[in-house]
Amino acid sequence: MEKSSRIDVSSAPSRPRSFDRLFEAAKKDTVIRLRWPLLILSSYLLYYSPSEWLTPTQVQAVLILYLLSHSTLYFLSDELFDSPYFYGPLLVFDTIVLGAVLSTTGAASADFYAACLLTAILSVICNDPRGLLLVTIVAPLAYGYFVFSRAAALDPGVYLRLPFPFVISLFYGYFAQVERLRRSGRDKEAEIKRQQKTAEEIRRQRERLEVLHQVNLSLASTVDKAQILAAFLETALIHLPYAAGLVRLKNGAALETVAARGFGSKSLSGATDFLALTERLVSAPAPLRVQNVFADRQVRDRGFFEREGLVSFLGVPLCANGEVLGCLAFLTREEHDFNPEEIDFISTLAGQAAIALQRAELYQRSQRQAEELSEAHKIKDDFLKVVSTQLKTPLNVIAGYAEMFLEGLLGALTPIQEKAVQTVARQSKELHALINAVLQVSSMEAEPLRAELREINLWEFFSELRAFYDYPLAKDLKLVWNYPGDLPSVAGDRAKLRRVLENLIGNALKFTERGTVAVTARYLPGKERLEIHVSDTGPGIPADDIPRIFDKFRQGRAHAGMEHGGVGLGLYIVKKYLDLLGGSIEAQSRPGEGTTFIVELPAPIQSRAAAHEQLLLPTAESDGAESRG
């Protein structure tokens, strides 16, 4: 796994190595050297200025003690000078001594106190070593100019006071700069630590994202549950600091070990107490961690852990969509403290594994259902083919005898007998059409449909189809044909186009009690398309039924006083064939007035046919037929 780079403290910008290096820490030699001028000036001022409070002997004693205090600094360790708890009291002590000397001698004036105080303030508040150097140089010069320009007669003691602003600026400014740089260093160190912590957190997040990515890849590699869990454990143990892992799934009321990695023993059947820990994850779904199994009271039988050399345990339930599928457990060979962040991450991994298991279960279930449906569909198709084929044999015999009776080959019939035989013949044809429809649907669903485009003489095609329906209709119904004699020869599938029209015409005849059924055809040369209208004067189709009439086994609702047969396959076959041929069909209907089906399909011209004399119905009847085009 790719590791992110850490922020190195040494990579922080380094300070200038010239003047600033003097103030990085309070060094022993620097402190002693800066204190010497303050000590010498204070001693001279105390010794040579008259004092009303101290005798010469007392002055000498004070000076000796002051010098001894400074000499003591040479014997102290260097580390003390770098601590504010040392040089802080030293500054307070020197300030008290300086104030006592000035007040005891009485030689200092108000302007001297003002100059010293102002110099100390400027030295302390100055944030730059170069500014401190400027204050150190300018302060004594400004004070000397002020003294010499205003005093008519100079006191000799003024020459002892003149260096004081310089010494005070160096002494107090030095420690102020040291403290400023120390504070700045602490802030930078804290910032670096924050950056390191942020970089470490980013690194851990990247590692976890990488683990999640690898785990998701392993989970998506197969749909077999055992293989999913085996790949999941193997990937997790490669990228996580654990020695062993276990996945158990619910099998009825018990838990079954499905995948295990990192254990020395081939069987976990003897690890009773260990398996009992995992069972608790299912009975009370919540993460369970044991930092040391040999010191935890929850673990009674430690023999398994001793044999395997396992110390720490973490278990989480496998949950998906509120359902507990099993549990996931990880173990280490060294004592490991599973923090809340780590537990959340392992719970996320467990959730991914549970979702993958559920997805695999749904996929396998859908596969089984698809196989069962496919088998049932195949049985249904085989059944329909066998039954339909077996029905056609006796049906052909019945139709043949009915035809022989009607032709008088078996003797003369009375009018009542002739009408009965005509009914038998008509019903035989309807039953034959129904069987053919069932066989067509079975054939369409068993094998892919293919269009066989050949040249079709449209005038001959419609004339042949018209002749097929040249038989007396049982109802008070007329079938009207309307197509021009100059229809061209086009490229198309003759058999499928015939089945489309047969189903539409048969559907119109079945649903129309009286009136007319009109078949109108015209060629659209600009579009090279054939447009056919099949209209009837039947009861019509309700508007909410029209979107569903082309579905398989769907029929329009029966109207009062009218019953119709069929199984709802005719329009389904029409739609399938037209989709194959690149055509379209539209139904227009008004309840009580009739229905028109408009078929339009591509028909590239092959050649122009000569005009033919057609046997058209009388003009009056043609005009009386309903036209929906």
State the virtual CA torsion across 564, 569, 575, 577 in degrees, nearest 10: -130
Confidence of residue 10 (pLDDT cuts 50, 70, 90): very low
Handedness of CA 145, 151, 154, 160 (dihedral sign): negative
The last residue of a domain, from among 367, 399, 418: 367
The closest of 536, 466, 547 to 507, measured between CA atoms, is: 536
Q: Which residue has the tokens 């402190």?
A: 31
More confident call, 426 vs 388: 426
Task: Put residue 427 in one of left, alpha, beta given phi > 0 → left and psi -120 to 50 → alpha.
Answer: alpha
Same domain for 223 and 348, yes or no, is yes
- Residue partners of 496: CB distance under 8 A and separation at least 6: 451, 577, 580, 581
Q: Are residues 236 and 339 in the same domain?
A: yes
What does the pLDDT read at residue 412? 81
Q: How many domains does the chain have?
A: 3
State the Cα–Cα distance between residues 93 and 82, nearest whole angstrom.
17
For residues 465 and 613, state if they share a domain: yes
pLDDT for the residue 609: 52
Are residues 236 and 182 part of one domain?
no
H helix or E strand, kind and range, residue 333: none
Whether 512 is covered by a domain: the verdict is: yes
In a domain, 258, yes or no: yes
Do 482 and 588 reside in the same domain of the chain?
yes
Q: What is the pLDDT of residue 518?
A: 93
Confidence (pLDDT) at 223:
63
Asked if 586 and 531 touch (Cβ cutoff 8 Å), the reply is no
Give the Cα separation of 241 and 258 in Å (integer): 22
CATH number for the domain spanning 521: value is: 3.30.565.10
Q: Which residue, 169, 166, 161, is CA-closest to 102?
A: 161
- Torsion angles phi and psi, residue 187, rounded to 5: -65, -40
| Gap between the Cα atoms of 596 and 165, Å rounded | 116
pLDDT in tens, 187-214: 888 888 888 887 777 777 776 677 766 7
DSSP state of 566: -
pLDDT tens by residue, 510-547: 888 888 999 999 999 888 999 999 999 988 888 888 88
Q: Among the ranges 116-125, 156-165, 437-446, 500-509, which has the highest mean pLDDT value?
A: 500-509
In this predicted structure, the answer to whether residue 76 has a pLDDT above a threshold of 50 is: yes
Domain end call among 336, 367, 398: 367
Instruction: Please classify residue 459 by burial: count the beta carbons closer than 10 Å to its beta carbon, then call 0-12 exposed, 13-18 middle and 19+ buried.
Output: buried
Rounded (5°) CA angle 302-304-307:
110
- 12-21, 325-334, 559-568: segment of lowest average pLDDT: 12-21
pLDDT at res. 391: 72
Note whether residue 29 is domain-resident.
Answer: yes
Whether 250 is in a domain gets the answer yes
Answer yes or no: do 40 and 137 share one domain. Answer: yes
Range of the domain at 321: 218-367
**In this structure, are 473 and 586 located in the same domain?**
yes
pLDDT at 95: 79
Its sign, for the CA torsion 165, 168, 173, 176, is negative
How crowded is residue 394: how many other Cβ atoms within 10 Å of its Cβ? 9
CA angle at 299 for the pair 295 and 303, rounded to the nearest 5°: 90
Looking at the predicted structure, is the pLDDT value of residue 24 above 60? no
Determine, yes or no, domain membership for 88: yes
Same domain as 167, residue 48: yes
What residue type is 36 in one-letter code?
W
Residue at 430: amino acid letter: E
Shared-domain flag, residues 323 and 457: no
On whether residue 71 sits in a domain, the answer given is yes
The CATH number of whichever domain residue 331 belongs to comes to 3.30.450.40
Q: CA nearest 331: which of 352, 346, 353?
A: 346
Report yes or no on 561 lying in a domain.
Answer: yes
Are residues 231 and 180 both part of a single domain? Answer: no
End position of a domain, from candidates 309, 341, 367:
367
- List the structure tokens of 226: 């055992």
Q: Does 425 reside within a domain? A: no
Cβ-contact 482, 594 below 8 angstroms = no
Q: Is the pLDDT of residue 6 over 60?
A: no
Confidence of residue 602 (pLDDT cuts 50, 70, 90): very high
Tell whether 456 and 602 lie within a shared domain: yes
Q: Out of 12-16, 76-80, 373-377, 454-458, which region has the weakest mean confidence (pLDDT)?
A: 12-16
Confidence of residue 567 (pLDDT cuts 50, 70, 90): low
214-266 pLDDT, tens digit per residue, is 767 666 666 677 777 788 888 888 878 889 988 888 887 788 888 888 887 66
**Residues 12, 15, 21, CA angle at the centre, nearest 5°?**
140
- Same domain as 174, residue 222: no
Phi, psi of 248 (to 5 degrees): -125, 140
Q: Cβ(612)–Cβ(459) under 8 Å?
A: yes
**Residue 326 region, left (φ>0) first, then alpha (ψ -120 to 50), else beta?**
left
Cα–Cα distance, 404 to 198 (Å, whole number): 100
Name, in order, each residue with C-beta under 8 angstroms of 358's C-beta and a sequence gap of 6 or more. 320, 321, 323, 325
Q: What is the pLDDT of residue 422?
A: 80
Please compute the mean of the pLDDT values over residues 470-476 and round it to a whole number: 73
For residue 269, is pLDDT > 70?
A: no
pTM value is 0.45
pLDDT per position as a tens digit, 143-190: 777 777 776 556 666 666 777 787 777 777 777 777 777 787 788 888
Whole-number mean pLDDT of the chain?
77
